[in-house]
Structure 1
Amino acid sequence: MNDQLKHKKATYHLYTFLVSKIIGSLGSHVYAFGISMYILSLTGSSLSFATNILLSYLPRIIISPFAGLLSDRFPRKWLVLGGQAGVILSVSILLIYTYTFELSLIAIYCVTIFNSIFSTFSSVAFTSSIANLVNEERLQKAMSFNQLSMSISGIGGPIVGGMLFGFVSMEIFLLTFIIAAIVTLTLESTMNFKLYQKETSTPATNSTEKESMLESLKAGFTYVKDKRVIRSILWTALWLNLFFTSVNIGFGFILLTILKLDPRLIGITEAGGAIGILITSIYFASRSNVKYPLVVVKRSTLMTSFLVISLAFPLFFDFSSTVNFIYYFIVMVLFGGFGVITNTPIGVMLQVSIDEEYRGRVFGIVEMMAMSMMPVGTLLFGVLYDVLPAQWILIVSGCILIGIVFTLLRPSVLKMAHPELEEKTLEPVLEK
């Protein structure tokens, strides 16, 4: 295939990727909103609601490394499409069950588990294929489009779900999700997942067929262990996700229970995060690749850590509801923006720096480590907010986050990632 044809195909991939992600994510958000509201209205129990969330986390944590292993052994396109088809099948069975009998909590839990398993295979295989779908110069745009689709669906999903809930049956929620998933599957089936795949002839590649599953999985962990920069990124992600959970758990609690903010204003405030993601994603999509991604990541995570501390500020004063609303809305916009500034460059860096034959396994490990602390953090901070003042939880969490960033992303790691970087300056963060 000549370069001009490849360029056209990559452009097609880029915008097909954006459309499919928006449709798929929007359908998922509408479905998640409907299921969440149904569980709460059926049981009135936050424990039942939390159980459903936990059942969506645990399979991803357990399955991710194996999904990555299969992504390195089998055609990734078929894993993406197979995972998507599995999700469609499981929700279709739930729809048939609902028509035949009646939607029940046990049925929802079962489908949540299967959805989590199937979507893990699909998402890990797709993530490890992005560098094969577009050329290196467009990787940042592709990663930005991924963040953009999440922000659009994050804003639109709850709005559409809120409009539908109470006016239509749960069958409509399920059908909406199925239609969106089918459209996503159809679009993804038209992509060439080997467009920019590099031919490799390394010993690891040639021996993959002869390795047992366990040996191949172990090779993935050994690869990560031997790559100091990637190892530092993974450990940073692990600990950051644990302490950033203090915001996920405490934000609504603080605004509703402590500051007595109007629930409608809380909804708008939370949407600020999606707005920040949207604005920053558009900015990154219009730029060429960041030259020193790990420097950008260090600075953006430091700023996000200070934002965690800043959430405690209104709790020391007696501000009006209007001031609290404006303050927290601005903070959430900044949270969303810095999240994109962190995730986009690091995503590009991983796509470029990981060898083709290990990419699936590494991204499986990345997903496992990124999510493994979320259940622990949810339980930990759920207990802490009941027994300790919220402001001190946020301040301590923010300070620990700052310490984690300075420890795991120290200058020696940055120098290793970017050997051409002058150790004195570390200045040119957003240069091409």
Structure 2
Amino acid sequence: MSRRSFTLLLLGQISSLTGNLTLKFALSMYVLERTGSASVFAGLLALSMLPTVLLSPLGGLLADRADRRKVMVALDLLSGLAVLCAGLALPLGRDILTIGALLIALSVLAAFESPTVQACVPQLLSGEDILRGNAAVNQVAATASLVTPFLGSVAYTAFGLRPVLWGAVACFFVTALLERSLRLPPREREAGRAPGLGEDMADCLRFLGREQPGILKLLLLAALVSLFVAGAVVVGAPYLVRTVLGLSAGWYGAAESAMGVASILGGVCVGLLGQRLRLRSLWAAFAALGACLIPCGGAFLLPLDAAARYLVLLAAFCVCQLGCSVFSTCAISVIQARTPERLMGKVMSFVTTLSMCAQPVGQIAYGALFDLAAGRVYWVLIPSGLLVCAIGLASSGFFARLEEEGGAA
């Protein structure tokens, strides 16, 4: 029953991510075409993430206290209704304001959904299956990243923004139907009075600060990955391809699809290697993220045409996505394996919160930097790559100690 429910969970994630990522791809193309500014684009993305940052701890509490199946069903239904309302409001004018409001609404719902979905994996699986389950979830996300840019570019170019909105509404409603069929195993509950919200959060902070300080440090490193990836890839990739190189949405869609393939390969590697993947080797995946940014900057120093620079960016960002996939899958599996069930939702909310705190900072910073260095983007990419490489090298001792404390990844 648990494996059947895990399959339904994966199918629901496929439907939800397909609608969500296709929608966000189309929205990003629309905003960039209307404004032509990396700062406006990055600022809108960063503003839309603030609710997730602020509300994720409450999402973790909800995941540990409520029926996770009912929570996921309700959140996907609300997501579909939010997109439906935005689609109906677009013809009334103030399109950028409407898009911003939609992104904020989806961000509020994501604050509650992300820790709930992540907490369901160790509830449905156990042992080494947790690592393989997280690898499967990661591959689903990567596959969606592979398909959605093509779907988004074709649908947006051929039909415009509103049909993409209707497709996203359908995907959210299908996800809710799939999640309604989930059967989650009963959870162990502590005897006696249920703790208050303050006690609940204090218990979680005590666990991270005293019992498992290595998890907290791992979360901080994951936040650094999120900061640089959100800045250099999420903002940099569309800005560099569309605005700096002047290429069409089709070129950017192809790049997103290729990066999706790289993410799938990262998940496949984790799934195949399993327990043979050593935790002490994760510093290399971190350093690889920085190493990818250096040739990206170098391409703009050399006398290359737009197509050649595009190929360099494509290759580097693909390796970056592969390393990020390996790092994030292993990091989340380590955290889940070392966290008791009663704290799973709250700890997963900390994962979301720290990641989401880093993303707006990275997006705003890189959006401003890319605008300031519009003709000299190598001044942004090369120093960033060197800094990330240095952080990766410095973290090698930490990962070795973390492996000695609790075993392999």
Per the normalisation by structure 1, the TM-score is 0.83
CA displacement, residues 224-243 of structure 1 (integer Å, 9 cap, x when unaligned)? 11212101111112223233
Contact 1:79/1:122 (8 A) holds in 2: yes
The more displaced of 247-256 and 76-85 is: 247-256
Pairwise CA RMSD? 3.0
Q: 1:22 to 1:315 in 2, by over 3 A?
A: same
Pairwise CA distance, 1:51: 4.7
1:301 aligns with 2:286: yes
Question: Which of 229, 233, 257 is the matching residue for 1:271?
Answer: 257
For the residue of structure 2 that corresponds to 1:354, the secondary structure is: coil
Q: Distance in 2 between matches of 1:79 and 1:361?
A: 15
Superposed, which structure 2 residues align to 1:62-81 within 5 Å?
62-81=54-73
Question: Which of 310, 317, 320 is the matching residue for 1:332?
Answer: 317
Code of the residue aligned with 2:387 in structure 1: it is I
Code of the residue aligned with 2:263 in structure 1: it is I
For the residue of structure 2 that corresponds to 1:128, the secondary structure is: helix
1:223 aligns with 2:207: yes
1:381 aligns with 2:363: no
Q: Distance in 2 between matches of 1:44 and 1:396?
A: 25
1:172 aligns with 2:163: yes
Q: 1:50 to 1:392 in 2, by over 3 A?
A: closer
Task: Give the equivalent residue in structure 2 for 1:193.
Answer: 184
* Percent identity for Structure 1 against Structure 2: 19
Code of the residue aligned with 1:379 in structure 2: it is I
Pairwise CA distance, 1:222: 2.4
The more displaced of 239-248 and 67-76 is: 239-248
CA displacement, residues 372-399 of structure 1 (integer Å, 9 cap, x when unaligned)? 1222222222222344543233232222
CA displacement, residues 340-366 of structure 1 (integer Å, 9 cap, x when unaligned)? 211222222122111111111111111
Task: Give the equivalent residue in structure 2 for 1:238.
Answer: 223
Superposed, which structure 2 residues align to 1:27-106 within 5 Å?
27-39=19-31, 49-97=41-89, 104-106=95-97
Contact 1:88/1:178 (8 A) holds in 2: yes
Q: 1:420 to 1:109 in 2, by over 3 A?
A: closer
Q: Distance in 2 between matches of 1:239 and 1:411?
A: 17
Q: 1:413 to 1:28 in 2, by over 3 A?
A: closer
Contact 1:10/1:135 (8 A) holds in 2: no
1:23 aligns with 2:15: yes
Aligned length: 405
Q: 1:284 to 1:260 in 2, by over 3 A?
A: same
The more displaced of 301-310 and 243-252 is: 243-252
Higher normalized helix content (fraction of residues):
2
Q: Distance in 2 between matches of 1:106 and 1:67?
A: 26
Q: 1:148 to 1:216 in 2, by over 3 A?
A: same
Task: Give the equivalent residue in structure 2 for 1:397.
Answer: 384
Task: Give the equivalent residue in structure 2 for 1:6.
Answer: none
Question: Which of 114, 117, 125 is the matching residue for 2:108?
Answer: 117
Q: Distance in 2 between matches of 1:241 and 1:344?
A: 13
Code of the residue aligned with 2:165 in structure 1: it is L
Q: Distance in 2 between matches of 1:13 and 1:189?
A: 10
Superposed, which structure 2 residues align to 1:283-432 within 5 Å?
283-285=269-271, 287=272, 289-291=274-276, 293-388=278-373, 389-407=376-394, 409-419=395-405
Pairwise CA distance, 1:179: 1.3
Task: Give the equivalent residue in structure 2 for 1:425.
Answer: none
Contact 2:119/2:345 (8 A) holds in 1: yes
Q: Distance in 2 between matches of 1:243 and 1:160?
A: 27
CA displacement, residues 371-429 of structure 1 (integer Å, 9 cap, x when unaligned)? 1122222222222234454323323222222332344x3425532433487xxxxxxx8
Q: 1:390 to 1:282 in 2, by over 3 A?
A: same
Contact 1:296/1:342 (8 A) holds in 2: no
Question: Which of 177, 180, 196 is the matching residue for 1:212?
Answer: 196
Task: Give the equivalent residue in structure 2 for 1:426.
Answer: none
Contact 1:270/1:332 (8 A) holds in 2: no
For the residue of structure 1 that corresponds to 2:274, the secondary structure is: coil
For the residue of structure 1 that corresponds to 2:257, the secondary structure is: helix
Task: Give the equivalent residue in structure 2 for 1:3.
Answer: none
Q: Distance in 2 between matches of 1:279 and 1:233?
A: 23
Q: Distance in 1 between matches of 2:193 and 2:269?
A: 40
Per the normalisation by structure 2, the TM-score is 0.87
Q: Distance in 1 between matches of 2:218 and 2:406?
A: 19
The more displaced of 46-55 and 129-138 is: 46-55
Code of the residue aligned with 1:364 in structure 2: it is S
Gaps of 5+ in 1: 1-8, 422-428
Q: 1:53 to 1:174 in 2, by over 3 A?
A: same
Pairwise CA distance, 1:170: 4.7
For the residue of structure 2 that corresponds to 1:312, the secondary structure is: helix
Q: 1:297 to 1:207 in 2, by over 3 A?
A: farther
Contact 2:39/2:367 (8 A) holds in 1: no
Task: Give the equivalent residue in structure 2 for 1:127.
Answer: 118
Q: 1:380 to 1:325 in 2, by over 3 A?
A: closer
The more displaced of 71-80 and 228-237 is: 71-80
Q: Please identify the structure whose Cα radius of gyration is greater.
A: 1
Q: 1:245 to 1:160 in 2, by over 3 A?
A: closer
